[in-house]
Amino acid sequence: LSDRLTSVFSSLRAKGRLSDADIDATCREIRIALLEADVALPVVKAFVAQVKERARGVEVSQALNPAQQVVKIVNEELIQILGGETRRLRYAKNPPSVIMLAGLQGAGKTTLAGKLARWLREQGHVPLLVACDLQRPNAVQQLQVMAERAEVAVYAPEPGNGVGDPIAVARQSLEHATRQQHDIVVIDTAGRLGIDQEMMQQAADIRAAVNPDEVLFVVDAMIGQDAVTTAQAFMDGVGFDGVVLTKLDGDARGGAALSVRHITGKPIMFASTGEKLDDFDVFHPDRMASRILDMGDVLTLIEQAQRTFDEQEAAKVAGKLASGDNFTLEDFLEQMMMVRRMGPIKNLLGMMPGMGQMRDQLNEIDDRHLDRIAAIIRSMTPGERADPKMINGSRRARIAKGSGVTVTEVGNLVIRFFEAQKMMKRVAGGIGLPGMPGGRK
Ligand code: GDP
Ligand code: MG
């Protein structure tokens, strides 16, 4: 068995690292894709540099060609950046929670207010929409229409009393919300077409007056390269905690998402995809990554190649194990090493009948742990490795001393091995890997 396992391992063993030439060639394509998606140039540069850095240390995969491998890394990195620190809305300990929307005029704040209110209502909240855009003549009415559609209440200054003071309205709305038992207040604010000091100041003043639990920066995905300056201006002028990307139903590839995320470090929390109230969703980093890269076909291909490879490896391993009497401590160690190397295949192993418990064990094993186990096994004699039953108290003590661990640790390893061995026997006893070559139905 040991020999056959070894052949599996060597086929998995990587052949060197990705070459600079491969990485550079693919990164040129990636750079173009990102620029075409309207990711801001400095962000593209920083991102590609980061990907190159990571790709350089990566071993050549047996499943994918180098270009595919780099694209896979790019995609993973994109998802990681776009999704890092995804979080839910923060609610106040003492209601009402206050959510304030900020952004340029036309970004979609008022529309979003309606969407958010409905979404919150559907989750059992009782939101109140607050009209603090008193700049445009029909802005209040627009919010009222939204609220009606979302079936939520609005707080707005009485019409005809001249131009209201948005800061006072915001402040008063909190008292109103408390009286009317609204648990969430969503404050719609005014925007300008361009970045404007007066508007920034007003938003900052509203923020200071109501101390929101969340300030959401609403940004149009079509804004493209301008995302950087706009996001930076709002970051400096008002400050915000999260981002909402709107108009994703348009044909923009969504580069703004990466730019804003890169510049501000703030999580993108929601995506708006149309004018209707239910054109709204929490943000999905993976979908956005694939939209920005616009390499859907390539990504699908990569996924398929990877999956096929993993399945073949799993089937091979399953085949070896299924025939396995004679499962030794050495096999045990190699198996764990293999799981460490294979990463995703760990999940496949976990799906095999009888291997579920094994996976739990495997999951416990981090690298340091693994090194200790390796040390223990290497301190055993070949006889002990082949037949651990012979490991008695004095042998345990010797092994512990040789590997620099406690006697208990040696004992635990042996116990764990016996459990694994039992499981191997169960697998060999006829429960193969259903539906896979080499498995049994
Ligand atoms: P505000 O000035 O930030 O309050 O922006 P509005 O909510 O008034 O939206 C400006 C325009 O964009 C309106 O015509 C909206 O119907 C439209 N709009 C808002 N969000 C979306 C969206 O996700 N997709 C599309 N296609 N249009 C949107
Ligand atoms: Mg508006």
pLDDT of residue 419: 82
- Which residues share a beta bridge with 174? none
Do residue 161 and residue 25 come from a single domain?
A: no
Domain presence at residue 434: no
> Which pLDDT tens digit goes with each residue over 18-60?
889 889 999 998 999 999 999 999 999 999 999 999 999 888 8
Ligand 1 atom showing the smallest separation from residue 280 Cα: 23
Which is more confident, 138 or 15?
138
Of all ligands present, the nearest one to the C-alpha of 107 is 1
* Size of the chain in residues: 441
Domain presence at residue 11: no
189 CA → ligand 2 middle, Å? 7
What is the distance of C-alpha 141 from the center of its chain?
39
Domain presence at residue 6: no
**Closest Cα to atom 16 of ligand 1:** 275
Domain presence at residue 92: no
Residue 248 labelled as part of a binding site? yes
Domain end position, chosen among 85, 116, 139: 85
Ligand 1 atom showing the smallest separation from residue 103 Cα: 3
Total structural domains in the chain?
3
Of all ligands present, the nearest one to the C-alpha of 246 is 1
pLDDT band, residue 358 (cuts 50/70/90): low
ipTM of this complex: 0.99
CATH number reported for the structural domain that contains residue 336 in this entry: 1.10.260.30
pLDDT of residue 363: 58
Do residue 276 and residue 321 come from a single domain?
A: no
Q: Which of 190-194, 278-282, 286-290 has the lowest mean pLDDT?
A: 190-194
272 CA → ligand 2 middle, Å? 15
Pocket of ligand 1 (CB under 6 A): 103, 105-111, 191, 246-247, 249-250, 272-275, 279
Domain end position, chosen among 54, 85, 116: 85
Do residue 240 and residue 103 come from a single domain?
A: yes
Do residue 104 and residue 55 come from a single domain?
A: no
> Which pLDDT tens digit goes with each residue over 398-423?
999 999 999 999 999 999 888 877 77
Q: Do 190 and 133 touch, CB atoms closer than 8 A?
A: yes
pTM of the predicted model, to two decimals?
0.72
CATH number reported for the structural domain that contains residue 279 in this entry: 3.40.50.300
CA atoms within 13 A on the CB side of 258: 36
Do residue 113 and residue 221 come from a single domain?
A: yes
pLDDT band, residue 236 (cuts 50/70/90): very high
Do residue 178 and residue 206 come from a single domain?
A: yes
252 CA → ligand 1 middle, Å? 15
What phi and psi values does residue 219 have, to the nearest 5 degrees?
A: -135, 135
Of all ligands present, the nearest one to the C-alpha of 112 is 1
CATH number reported for the structural domain that contains residue 50 in this entry: 1.20.120.140
* CA proximity to 254, closest of 297, 282, 293, 280: 293
Residue 92 labelled as part of a binding site? no
Please report which helix (H) or strand (E) contains residue 32, including its range: helix 20-36
> Which pLDDT tens digit goes with each residue over 139-196?
999 999 999 999 999 999 876 555 589 999 999 999 999 999 999 999 999 988 887 8
Do residue 203 and residue 321 come from a single domain?
A: no
Ligand 1 atom showing the smallest separation from residue 104 Cα: 3
Q: What is the mean pLDDT of residues 379-402?
A: 90
Do residue 247 and residue 329 come from a single domain?
A: no
Instruction: Name the token pair of 262.
Output: 């890169």
Do residue 77 and residue 217 come from a single domain?
A: no
Give every CB contact of residue 169 below 8 A, 6+ residues apart in sequence: 130, 131, 132, 134, 155, 156, 157
Domain presence at residue 73: yes
Do residue 320 and residue 289 come from a single domain?
A: no
pLDDT of residue 15: 56
**Closest Cα to atom 10 of ligand 1:** 106
Domain presence at residue 154: yes
232 CA → ligand 2 middle, Å? 21
268-272 and 280-282 strand pairing: antiparallel
Domain end position, chosen among 234, 264, 293: 293
Domain presence at residue 268: yes
pLDDT > 70 fraction of the chain, expressed in percent and rounded: 80
Angle, CA 356 vertex, CA 355 and CA 361 arms, to 5°? 90
Domain presence at residue 300: no
Do residue 101 and residue 222 come from a single domain?
A: yes
Alpha-carbon Rg for the chain, nearest whole angstrom, is 29
Measure the CA–CA gap between 269 and 216, rounded to whole angstroms. 9
Return the exposure string of 202-224: e unless at least 16 CB atoms fall within 10 Å of the residue's CB, then b.
bbbebbebbebbbbbbbbbbbbb
Ligand 1 atom showing the smallest separation from residue 107 Cα: 3
Domain interval for residue 47: 19-85
Do residue 110 and residue 246 come from a single domain?
A: yes
